[in-house]
Amino acid sequence: MNKLLQDKKAICIFVVPGFLLFTFVLFIPICQSIFYSFCNYDALTPPKFIGFKNYTMLLRDDTMKVALKNSMFFLVFSCVTQLIMGLLLAGLLTNIQKGRNFFKNVIYLPCVLSSAALGLLWMFIFSPKLGVNQLLKMWNIKGPLWLMDTHGFIILPMWVIGFVALWQYVGQSMMLYMAQISGISKTLYEASEIDGCSKAQSFRYITLPLIKPMVGTAMSLNAIGSLKFFDLIFNMTEGGPNHATEVLATHLYTQGFKYFKYGYASAIGVVLLVMCLIMTGLINAAFKTDQYES
Amino acid sequence: MKKTTKRVSIWKIVIYIFFCIMAAIYLVPLLWVFTVSFKTNAEIFSSPFSLPKQLCFDNYVVAWTAGKLGIATWNSFLVCVITLLLSMLVGSMIAFAIARMQWKLSKLVLTYFLLGMMIPVHCVLIPLFTRFAKIGLSNNLWGLVLPYLTFSLPVTIYIMSGFFRSIPNELLEAACIDGCSIYKIFFRVCLPLAKTGLFVTGLMTFVANWNELLLAMVFISDDNIKTLPVSLSKFVGPYNTNYSQMFAAIIIAIIPTIAVYCAFSNQIVDGLTAGAVKG
Amino acid sequence: MKKKLLSILLSATMALTAFAGCGASGNGGETASGGSSSSGAEEITWMFWDDLNATEDLISLGYKDVVDRFNKDYEGVYHVTPITTNLEEYYTKLNALVASGETPDCFIVSPGPNLTTYVEPGVAADLTPYLEADGWKDTFSSDSVFSQQTYDGKIYAVPLNIAAACVFYNTEMFANAGVEVPKTYDELLDACKKLKDAGYTPITISAGTAWCLSMLCAYLFDREGVDLKAMEAGTESWKNDKTLDAVNKMLELSQYFQETAAGDTNDVATAAFYNEEAAILIQGSWAIGQINGSNAAFESKCGVFQFPGLAGGNDPNRVIAKSDSLAMSSTTKHPEAVAALMKYFTDDTAQKYTAEKGGKIPVTKVSYDEEAAPAQLAYVMDIFGNATGTFGFLNESLATTEAGSFFDDTMVSIYLGNVTPEEGLQTIEDWYVDNIR
């Protein structure tokens, strides 16, 4: 038995293909990317080493500041709203029998649809001549420029995009919480009812503490997802007007594939990578302590 | 007692009203696009909310043929299925080696693969693009399969190794006594036992890649090998946009997914959730 | 067991080859002519920014005809295969091909910084010898059509057609409001006011598509006599009296824009014009096809005038012009074939089509049937004929494409009121200090 499981040749056959693929498609490009970020590299001439110049440029780049601000907004907004809405929906859904499946499936539906298509759909819904504003016009309300207004610290289009992202992905958080809630033993609730607890109280004192670990999982999914966020913004605003809705991913795309500043775009990529690693680290740390508590 | 039942029923009604509103928020936009997709360009702007005066199927025909959505759907399908099969095979082989076989570096290799989960695809976009252009993988569906496969491996390995670990030792020992080779143990004994895992990882891989936009947009420029999400963007041009075709294209892009979803919604939702929990 | 593994491997390889074959056939199936290349013919590639089989754009359709005609006439000698992308990602794909050493033999390019990127590293070939060889150059209407394609006296690209940016107006609305065609900026303001009083939306423009608003600014800049070269070189700041004045004039005009200008895309803004919701549209002559195609009844009501001048300003007869140009790869193995193809794009048949169907200004001395051409083209031709000089779109004539976009975006920001004109121009100045000078 052990001889079989220690078969070096078999291990090689099992592991090597994936290992090579992973190294060539992920690991080496990451190293290259870090190298490029120290280079002046446009598409047509070979990379030339320029030290930290790309990074000092990043510090002075106004669009980068906007992109960072928007990415951070997105991170916080999606973590908070997904947590609240996801919990609310999960809590309420577990309380009804009839139609539970239907509502659950409807709310989960956008998670499996293409965000490119949904982005276009919502772009039309929020465009001035179609959709929401025409609907408001019927009641003589002049709707705002949903995707073009640029007043305030966090501009209206970012809230709109945040709403659409919530609309699309809240199903996932909801399902995660529901899976956890349905795992809680019924007897706990029965006991609390005998003790005279209201539904709200049992939610607060039984459900919430018991699903805490799941909050960590859902949060980390949301956080990494929102840092990588690209499709919806690209199809709804393309980062405009005047880069006001740019996030890190769209800024990288514009710099790299519209202006061919490969070196500079790589530097943005490195920043994104570092942020992802930090976020994963932070949430994992929080998540671990949660497990010890429960 | 009577009082409580009454309160509960009001409470229930409120919940149901709430969920009906939620369902409307989810379904109305989709239904709206569906009705609009049958209108002509002029009608879209004059009366966006009415039912179409006559069903204009031309939008669909043009989007499907001239807009090349037919080809794009096929390309998406091809890429996704091949990635799915390869990721199940390669991923579960690695997972098996890590979970059940005994070798010194297994922990280290697992960490190496799991690191991939934290890396956003944007970071490798430029090096991959320049490399693939040099070796003829840009404008080639294989150029999509390789990165898709790579990025689906970490989750696949993680989930599958969980399933392989849960297989009782006795089963493996029995197979060993029967004289099975290690390959037979993997293909004949372990893989069938981890069917649920394969379903879950396969589903996750498929859904993620079916909707992937960024890589496909950067790597593919030839209209004949574009995938569905990329082809959609073609309908919005800098000089003019054909709205009715655009809406038809959106519907074409989401209808297959919706159809499959309606048929297997429970399995899909549960499968994806299970995947997310484990991942 | 080995057998089993072998069979799996085998089937995997089979799937692989079948798949690769599919990709390859996808590549080859791109020919516009639909016919496969006959063996022995010299194969050349031609890269273009629109899908020739799906496009409704009249100019693109004309190019398709040219390619088909060329392939038919040179059957067995040369064969051209188009590589097509859409406009947004055109340069990305072209650069990728250049970087991988597979530069298309012939490719379309906009003059200005885009062309410069290919001329400077030697990607584009010097075309002067071919143009001068057999009187080809003499067929062009004048040497000035090459002005944006010439570097150090050498011509690196051949223009195919010219589009000019003009002011389109609704003659009926003008008559109803009692407005004459404005000759100066003040008259334009006055006309807008009268149109507004008569209950019309005076101007439809798109700030959602940044280059549309930027085109208006480009005209104002030019009429003010802004010296772009000096600002490029750094001898003058982007924030000066003339630029400030121009930007303030844009804001002054903006009170007459349609309400949704900030969010409307180019299409929506143009649609508002041909659907007779607004009186004035500032657009390139390429919009003629779109206007007449969408509302044929409007052709007779659509007038064109030149962008008015400023009292005491620069020469008011300068026109914004944009041309499509073809460049040749310096590494092509078949330069003769590419030159032959380029000649097909500038021969009489192609140029006649350009004017009569495409609604763009031909680059050669071709005579065409003015009756067949759209009514607006004659007006545009008049304006172009009287022009004392042409200049490019700012997003195609500033130092780099990014500088162009930066300018466009800043103009949108100023229009939206996010920054004051002073602040906006200062950011352009700062950006130039960091990136260009």
Distance in angstroms (rounded) separating the CA atoms of residues C359 and C345:
16
Q: Are residues C279 and C366 in the same domain?
A: no
Residues of chain C with pLDDT under 70: 1-39, 54, 56, 88
From the number of C-beta atoms within 10 Å of its C-beta (0-12, 13-18, 19+), residue C80 rates as: buried
Closest residue to C262, CB basis, from A43, A148, A260: A148
pLDDT beyond 80 at B20 = yes
Report yes or no on C387 lying in a domain. Answer: no
> Which CATH number do you get for residue A111?
1.10.3720.10
Regarding whether C176 and C108 lie in a shared domain, the answer is no
Query: Does residue C175 share a domain with residue C308?
Result: yes
Domain edge (last residue) among C347, C376, C405: C376
Neighbouring-strand partners of residue C284? C165
Domain-located, residue A55: no
Domain annotation covers residue C278: yes
CATH number at residue C299: 3.40.190.10
Residue B169 has pLDDT above 70, yes or no: yes
Closest chain B residue to C20 measured between Cα atoms?
B142
Q: What is the pLDDT of residues A245-294, one digit of tens each?
A: 999 999 999 898 888 889 999 999 999 999 988 888 888 787 665 444 33
Long-range contacts of B181-185 (CB under 8 A, 24+ apart): B181/A4, B181/C1, B182/A4, B182/A5, B182/A7, B182/A10, B182/B101, B183/A10, B183/C1, B183/C4, B183/C5, B184/C1, B184/C4, B185/A4
Do the domain assignments include residue C24? no
Select from A114, A139, A221, A234 the residue whose CB has the most chain B CBs within 10 Å, as the one to mutate to test that interface: A114
Whether A29 maps to a domain, the answer reads no
Q: Does C268 contact A45 at a Cβ distance shorter than 8 Å?
A: no
pLDDT digits (tens, 9 = 90+) for A64-91: 999 999 999 999 999 999 999 999 999 8
User: Where along chain B do its domains lie?
Assistant: 2-46, 67-234
On whether any CB of chain A is under 8 Å from the CB of B239, the answer is: no
Picking from C6, C100, C418, C427 by the largest number of A CB atoms within 10 A of its own CB, the best residue to mutate is: C418
Does residue C85 fall inside a structural domain?
A: yes
**What's the mean per-residue pLDDT of chain B?**
86
Examine the domain organization and report whether C403 and C304 are in the same domain: yes
Give the range of the structural domain holding residue A145, as residue numbers without chain letter. 61-293
Contact C52, C82 (CB under 8 A): yes
SS (H, E, C) A47-104: CEECCCHHHHHHHHCHHHHHHHHHHHHHHHHHHHHHHHHHHHHHHHHCCCCCCHHHHH
The parent domain of residue C122 ranges over 34-163+323-376
Please indicate if any CB of chain A lies within 8 Å of the CB of C416: yes
What does the pLDDT read at residue C28?
Answer: 35
Phi-psi region for residue C309, left (φ > 0), alpha (ψ -120 to 50) or beta? Answer: beta
Query: Do both C309 and C198 map to the same domain?
Result: yes
In chain B, pLDDT over 90 holds for what percent of residues?
Answer: 30
pLDDT category at B4 given cuts 50, 70, 90 is low
Q: Where are the alpha helices (DSSP H) in chain B?
A: 2-36, 41-46, 58-65, 69-100, 106-115, 125-134, 141-165, 169-177, 182-184, 191-193, 195-210, 214-219, 228-233, 243-278
Same domain assignment for residues C240 and C353: no
Joined together, the tokens standing for residue C37 give 């290349």
> Are the C-beta atoms of A126 and A158 separated by less than 8 Å?
no
Residues of B with CB below 8 A from C6's CB?
none
Beta strands C278-284 and C201-204 are: parallel
CB A128 within 8 A of CB C260: yes
Q: Are C208 and C264 in contact (CB under 8 A)?
A: yes
**For residue C200, is it within any domain?**
yes
Residues from chain C that touch A65, judged by Cβ atoms under 8 A, are none
Q: Do B138 and C5 touch (CB under 8 A)?
A: no
pLDDT at position B278, please?
Answer: 66
* Closest CA–CA distance from residue B208 to any residue of chain A (Å): 8
Q: Do residues C153 and C284 share a domain?
A: no
Cβ of residue B142 closer than 8 Å to a chain A Cβ: no
Looking at the structure, tell me whether residues C305 and C172 fall in a common domain: yes
CATH fold group of domain B67-234: MetI-like fold (1.10.3720)
Chain C hits for A240, CB-CB cut-off 8 Å, are 208, 210, 409, 412
Question: What is d(CA A225, CA A219) in angstroms, rounded to the nearest whole number?
Answer: 10
Asked whether the beta carbons of residue C23 and residue B142 sit closer than 8 angstroms, the reply is yes
* Distance separating alpha carbons of residues B151 and B79, to the nearest angstrom: 14
8 Å CB contact between C84 and C30: yes
| Whether pLDDT at B184 is above 50 | yes
A198 in a structural domain: yes
Based on the fold, state whether residues C227 and C279 are members of the same structural domain: yes
User: Are C85 and C181 contained in the same domain?
Assistant: no
The set of residues, in sequence order, having a beta carbon less than 8 Å from that of A70 and lying 6+ positions away, is A154, A158, A245, A246, A247
The answer to whether residue A12 sits within a structural domain is no
Q: What is the pLDDT of residue C107?
A: 95
Looking at residue C3, its pLDDT comes to 45
Chain A residues within an 8 Å CB radius of C405: 258-259
Residue A14 lies in a domain: no
Q: Are residues C133 and C221 in the same domain?
A: no
In a domain, A9, yes or no: no
Report how many domains make up chain A: 1
Residue C110 lies in a domain: yes
pLDDT in tens, chain A (294 residues): 677 888 888 999 999 999 999 999 999 999 999 999 999 988 777 889 998 999 998 998 888 999 999 999 999 999 999 999 999 999 888 888 888 889 999 999 999 999 889 998 998 888 877 778 888 888 888 888 888 887 888 889 999 999 999 999 999 899 888 888 887 878 888 888 888 888 778 888 888 888 877 888 788 888 888 888 898 898 888 887 878 899 999 999 989 888 888 999 999 999 999 998 888 888 878 766 544 433
Selection from C47, C291, C366, C320 nearest residue C162 by Cα: C320
Is C408 within the bounds of a domain? yes
Rounded CA-CA distance A34/A43 in Å is: 17
> pLDDT band for position B97 (50/70/90)?
very high
Mean confidence (pLDDT) of chain A: 86
If asked whether residues C311 and C327 sit together in one domain, one would say no
Residues of chain A with pLDDT > 70, as a percent, come to 97
Q: Which residue has the higher pLDDT, C56 or B108?
A: B108
What's the structural domain count of chain C? 2
Average of per-residue pLDDT across B134-139: 81
Tokens of A139: 């009641």
Q: Rounded to whole angstroms, how far apart are CA atoms B138 and A207? A: 50
E strand or H helix that includes residue A277:
helix A262-293
Counting as contact any 3 or more CB pairs under 8 A, the partners of C are A, B
